[in-house]
Amino acid sequence: MSLAVRARSLALPLLALVLVAIVLVVQVANGGGRYAPSAVADPCTAPAPTRTPATLDALGQQLVLLGLDGAACRLGVSREALTLQLAQDHEDPSDAQVDALKAGMLDAIDRVKAAGALPPAADLVDQALDSADLNALVKLAIRALPDTVINRALPTDEVLRQAVENLDVRALLGDLDDSSQLGNLVTKAVTKAVEQTLVAQVRGLV
Amino acid sequence: MRRFRVPLLALTVGLVLADSAVVTLALPAILQRLHGTVPQIAWVLISFNLVLALCAVPAARLCDRFDPRICCAAGIALFAAASAACALAGSMELLIAARSVQALGGAFALVGSLELLVSVEGETRGVGWWIAAGVVGTAAGPVVGGLLTEAISWQAIFVVQVPVAILAVPAALSIRPVRTPTPQRHPPALAPNLALALLSAALTAALFLLVLLLVEGWRHSPAAAALTVSVIPLAAAAARPLVRRLGATPRMEAVAGSLLIAGGLVALALPPSAHLAWTIAPQALIGLGLGMTVDRLTAAALRDRLPRAVHGGWTIAARHFGVVAGLLVLTPVFTASLEAAQGPAQEAVTALVLDAPLQAGDKVAIAHALSDRLADQHDQVPDLRPAFRSLDIAPEDRPAADDLERALDDQVRRAATRAFRDSFLIAGALALLALIPLSVRRRSR
């Protein structure tokens, strides 16, 4: 076979290779091969929040989410894997999971405070009082206090720390099926923390 | 009748070979209508290809020994009756049985048609008609099946075959076969048949899995999927006129075709997104490759070999054993990949739900609805959209919920694409393996 005939016979396979290369280069240059489910973030390096939550519900949610990060970091799993375990397990959460979540939420308060994203206590007190089981006169008296007094008397981080201590994490995890119960537990814990901190402050004055 | 007998026989050949993949886009509708299981639905495909592969050579031997007119006409009549039975099947078991009978009749119809087409048109043109009809039927099967399912119903796929086949019976009987004494009985051509089997196994990914990816993974309608996969038959039809200008040898055409099929399958494994446009160029490569390989290899397997019908039978057997092998190899890989993709997909979905700007109660409600949906659609690519329809979300939170729904859909599509990737890559490797028999030079007998 002459060189010219041989070259001519190889032209078609070479053309095929060029066509394939063009298609593959265009696909890969536009993200081909990377179109897969998003990778989950490392819970130990989760970014701190930058926005101050406007409502008690939003604050509670932020602390639980950051708490999940901290708990997942402690347990050596991703936040999403821990969430799925807690949501899917038919058994009660383990002591390690409960302790890790509580510790994670306490860490979260420090992180939110360090980021300057904690709301002033006066904002929380007003919302907490709406659902607090207090005498109407006491509620009225507290609401009459200027915000500056409340903010000085009730450091937000202390109220929240107390709320986390009050929070029945096992019950919270057990009630994940009931979305309304979830909010109630968090609100109750914050309300009780407000009451306790206020009582402690009053006792300090006396 | 004389004018139409060649087109009718060619159409029958195309119909029988289209039946290999014609039901792919109808499988979800069949599964729903006949209350079948996923393994049963796989057998709707496998049974036809397996019976066709097993019966093609024995049918050809019978056609060679007896009158090919009778063999062909009886095969077409059986194929028509079984097609009607497929349309009327009320259970998966009956459908699988009818598909098997359809393949049995199809085997006789195919090998008998080869002899009859050669009797009418002569060796070169007759074999050319037979091969071209087979290539067009194979490539167009999913498109035609998808459009009929979307426009009418899955039963229509089988119903439309009946009148064509009925018309083909008298056409077959009207041809007087030219019987040439065949003192020589050549062995089957190993290299082209092996290459055909490997390429058919590889093409399974393009003709079956791509359709599944488009409909089940990316949630496009069967009509959109059918129109999209029409690129393959169009490119296959364009291959011959394009290649003729280059004047390559048949072997080099088959080599180039195998490279195009392998490259197209690898490109299907690496789409940048779930947009249909990203499948066009890979499908064009596959279609061009199909048009350059299947006819050349079939012609090589038939050239100068007698009895012709028997060697035609060997090419049918090789191709459909290849399809069965492709289904048996690629389906478990795909199923395992789908299972492996569930973990990362669930975590990605969980991350989106946790970080969504929604109230905690809404997130829990969404998580529950999604969880129920995932449990209902175990071992399938889940459709999460219905989970959002049942939610009671405040109007001000609806935009955030809609954004979340779109983001979740995107994650599911990403997971499905990832799940199909290994199957496409393995299919690409099978197409490259076909280069090995193609590199074997044919020795003179």
Q: CATH number of the domain at B322, please.
A: 1.20.1250
Same domain, B156 and B249: no
Residue B239 Cα, gap to closest chain A Cα (Å): 12
pLDDT band at A117 (very low <50, low <70, confident <90, very high): confident
Predicted local distance difference test score (pLDDT) of residue A182: 62
Which sign does the torsion angle of CA B216, B218, B219, B222 carry? negative
Tokens for B287?
Answer: 């279609």
b/e for A51-75, b at 16 or more Cβ within 10 A? ebbeebbbbbbbbbbbbbbbbbbbb
pLDDT at B232 over 60: yes
Residue B233 in 3-state DSSP? helix
State whether A35 and B249 contact (CB < 8 Å): no
Residue B312 is assigned to a structural domain of this protein: yes
Same domain, B242 and B355: yes
Residue B184 is assigned to a structural domain of this protein: no
Residue B30 in 3-state DSSP? helix
Of B52, B149, B132, residue with least CA distance to B99: B52
Contact assessment for residue A176 and residue B364, using Cβ atoms and an 8 Å cutoff: yes
State whether A87 and B362 contact (CB < 8 Å): no
pLDDT at B375 over 70: no
Same domain, B289 and B330: yes
Tokens for B422?
Answer: 């290994």
Same domain, B150 and B206: no
Tally the residues of chain B: 445
Domain count, chain B: 2
Tokens for B334?
Answer: 């795909």
SS3 of B393-445: CCHHHHHHHHHHHHHHHHHHHHHHHHHHHHHHHHHHHHHHHCHHHHCCCCCCC
Query: How distant, in Å, are the alpha carbons of A130, B110, B247, B304, B431 from that of B129?
Result: 85, 12, 21, 17, 25
Mean per-residue pLDDT of chain A: 80
Predicted local distance difference test score (pLDDT) of residue A176: 63
Identify the CATH number of the domain in which residue B26 sits.
Answer: 1.20.1250.20
pLDDT band at B27 (very low <50, low <70, confident <90, very high): confident
Same domain, B7 and B123: yes
DSSP state at residue B279? G
Predicted local distance difference test score (pLDDT) of residue A206: 52
Same domain, B45 and B164: yes
Residue B202 is assigned to a structural domain of this protein: yes
Same domain, B78 and B209: no
Nearest to A30 among B247, B272, B285 (CB): B272
Q: What is the DSSP string of A154-196?
A: S-HHHHHHHHHHH--HHHHHHTTT-HHHHHHHHHHHHHHHHHH
Query: What is the chain A residue with the closest CA to B281?
Result: A23
Q: What is the DSSP string of B116-159?
A: HHHHHH-HHHHHHHHHHHHHHHHHHHHHHHHHHHHHT-HHHHHH
Predicted local distance difference test score (pLDDT) of residue B444: 44
Residue B217 is assigned to a structural domain of this protein: yes
Contact assessment for residue B302 and residue B312, using Cβ atoms and an 8 Å cutoff: yes
Predicted local distance difference test score (pLDDT) of residue A18: 97
State whether A35 and B414 contact (CB < 8 Å): yes
Residue A35 Cα, gap to closest chain B Cα (Å): 6
pLDDT tens digit string along B178-231?
Answer: 776 666 789 999 999 999 999 999 999 988 889 888 988 898 888 888 889 999
pLDDT band at A1 (very low <50, low <70, confident <90, very high): low
Same domain, B143 and B255: no
Averaging pLDDT over each range in B33-42, B123-132, B244-253, B424-433, which range is the top one?
Answer: B424-433
pLDDT tens digit string along B248-272?
Answer: 888 999 999 999 999 999 999 999 9
Tokens for B27?
Answer: 């499988």
Residue recorded with tokens 């499988």: B27
Predicted local distance difference test score (pLDDT) of residue B378: 61
pLDDT at B330 over 80: yes
Same domain, B161 and B299: no
Predicted local distance difference test score (pLDDT) of residue A52: 75
Residue B176 in 3-state DSSP? coil
Residue B183 is assigned to a structural domain of this protein: no
Residue recorded with tokens 């129109």: B227
pLDDT at A205 over 60: no
Residue B212 Cα, gap to closest chain A Cα (Å): 18
Residue A162 Cα, gap to closest chain B Cα (Å): 21
HSE, side-chain direction, 13 A CA sphere, residue B180: 14
Domain final residue, candidates B144, B174, B204: B174
Same domain, B240 and B289: yes
pLDDT at B360 over 80: no
Q: What is the DSSP string of B43-97?
A: HHHHHHHHHHHHHHHHHHHHHHHS-HHHHHHHHHHHHHHHHHHHHH--SHHHHHH
Q: What is the DSSP string of chain A?
A: --HHHHHHHHHHHHHHHHHHHHHHHHHHHTTTT--SPPPPPPGGGPPPP-S--SSHHHHHHHHHHHHHHHHHHHHTS-HHHHHHHHHH-SSPPPHHHHHHHHHHHHHHHHHHHHTT-PPPHHHHHHHHHHH----HHHHHHHHHS-HHHHHHHS-HHHHHHHHHHH--HHHHHHTTT-HHHHHHHHHHHHHHHHHHHHHHHHHHH-
Same domain, B24 and B169: yes
pLDDT tens digit string along B92-115?
Answer: 999 999 999 999 999 999 999 999
Which residue range is the domain that position B156 belongs to?
1-174
State whether B359 and A57 contact (CB < 8 Å): yes
Query: What is the chain B residue with the closest CA to A173?
Result: B364
pLDDT at A60 over 50: yes
State whether B367 and A87 contact (CB < 8 Å): yes
pLDDT tens digit string along A124-181?
Answer: 777 777 766 777 777 787 778 888 887 887 788 888 888 888 888 887 777 666 656 6
Residue B230 in 3-state DSSP? coil
Instruction: Select the residue from B244, B276, B278, B393 to test the A interface by mutation, using most A Cβ atoms within 10 A.
Output: B278
State whether A38 and B351 contact (CB < 8 Å): yes
Instruction: Select the residue from B218, B266, B270, B352 to test the A interface by mutation, using most A Cβ atoms within 10 A.
Output: B270
State whether B274 and A40 contact (CB < 8 Å): no
Residue B10 Cα, gap to closest chain A Cα (Å): 29
Predicted local distance difference test score (pLDDT) of residue B258: 97
Residue B181 is assigned to a structural domain of this protein: no
Contact assessment for residue B192 and residue B301, using Cβ atoms and an 8 Å cutoff: yes
- The interface pTM score, or ipTM, of the predicted complex is 0.87
Partners of B263 on chain A (C-beta within 8 Å) are 16-17, 19-21, 23-24
Residue B189 is assigned to a structural domain of this protein: no
Residue recorded with tokens 């099947």: B89
Same domain, B328 and B425: yes
pLDDT band at B420 (very low <50, low <70, confident <90, very high): very high
